[in-house]
Amino acid sequence: MANDTTKGTGRLVHLRVKRQDSPDLPETRRWEEFKVPYLPQMNIISALQQVQKEPRTVDGKDVAPVVWESSCLEEVCGACTMVINGRVRQACSALVDQIAPNGEVIQVEPMTKFPLVRDLIVDRERMFQDMKKVKAWIDIDGTHELGPGPRESPEAQQERYPLSRCMTCGCCVEACPQYNDSTQFVGPFALNLVRLFNMHPSGALHKNARLETVMGEGGVQDCGKSQNCVEVCPKEIPLVDSIAQVSRDATKRLLFGWLLK
């Protein structure tokens, strides 16, 4: 915690953090405010680390350290997703100089579309179950030597690479109005993975099986076309294009699938 000298001569970062001790203690839900010394190139993770070093609120109350998830600190793992000043994003790439250049209060909350674990940590198990639902993998029989994989042109690789950058961070589903407790919608990220694996030469062998998983309830027809997902995706994945392509492929499968039986 900054002392009086630091307060008088140095810049402070003011955080307002939404906290809750555990999922079964909603009565502990509260806001706590902290002020920590500013550091060059500071991001939200480093600000939270300063709070963790000496967890004392602005009114002088000693509290338990704030807990959150993070790993790579370079916007690759997707673990540190939070709602910062009302916008879902990666905390590691949320720079204090950009968010609060004049010392404004920075509000930090957990994502709202997943069960809360504690403070800023949520359980994103639903995302991984949705990946299983849409068969987001390539089935390969590894019991014997298969030889070299199918060749791909550089153009095909270049088209598919942006789709592969998904890190299951949850930003797209947090911003999606269709993804909530009352629906089974698999979300933009899952539909993007359907497109990704269906474009792969080996993955295309199970293209129809994947399409059939998104032709029912919770599938591509549940997308409300709000396009919030593409606005918040930290990897700039063309999610709307992926949803449109999967929708076209699913429609073709629905209309002409009987020809393949």
Residue closest to 120 by CA, chosen among 131, 106, 132, 130: 106
Q: What is the model's pLDDT at position 231?
A: 97
Residue located via tokens 């010394």: 37
User: Residue type for 178, please?
Assistant: Q
Question: 135 Cβ partners below 8 Å, 6+ apart?
Answer: 197, 206, 209, 210, 213
Task: Give the bridge partners for 147, in sequence order.
Answer: none
Residue 132 main-chain phi, psi, to 5 deg: -65, -40
Residue closest to 116 by CA, chosen among 172, 177, 68: 68
Angstrom distance (rounded) from CA 118 to CA 15? 18
Per-residue pLDDT of the chain (261 residues; tens, 9 = 90+): 444 434 444 899 999 999 999 999 999 999 999 999 999 999 999 999 999 999 999 999 999 999 999 999 999 999 999 999 999 999 999 999 999 999 999 999 999 999 999 999 999 999 999 999 999 999 887 777 878 888 889 999 999 999 999 999 999 999 999 999 999 999 999 999 999 999 999 899 899 999 999 999 999 999 999 999 999 999 999 999 999 999 999 999 998 876 765
